Amino acid sequence: MSVIVTDSGFAADDWQGEISPLAALADRPEARAVALAAEADPAALAGRLHGLALIVVRFAAYADGRGFTLGRRLRLAGYAGRLRAAGPLIADQYAMARRAGFDEVEIPDEIAARQPEEQWRFRADWRAHDYRSRLRA
């Protein structure tokens, strides 16, 4: 199982539909959700961004930052739907995920057990904890 992390804390996944892998998207014009590997090219979703309600970017490891770049590129390409980072991310990366454009993070139960909800909620004020705000203070 997994846990969804938002600015409010831990929650269960409320997505009810199927999440298609990118490779199957061409055969599923009705698909409303897609899962991408962190190394995917956002151009592969050209013409489909506005029809998708959820994009899940799968991180292979917490030390692989390509997913943050992909999330940012999707937002810059005009994606306005729900954007989820999924994988072995840690609480310290929550603010980075939010600044990159992700709405939520999906973590395995094992990480949620090691890093309880209060550690994630501590980072929920992600707008106030960037280097620019510290420099202005």
Cβ proximity of 105 and 4 under 8 Å: yes
pLDDT tens sequence across 18-37: 999 999 988 898 999 999 99
- Structurally, how many domains does the chain consist of? 1
Question: Could you say which residues of the chain have pLDDT below 70?
Answer: 126-137
- pLDDT of 127 reads 61
The reported pTM is 0.90
End-to-end CA distance of the chain: 41
- pLDDT of 62 reads 84
Cβ proximity of 110 and 90 under 8 Å: no
The domain of 45 spans: 2-136
Domain of residue 24, CATH code: 3.20.20
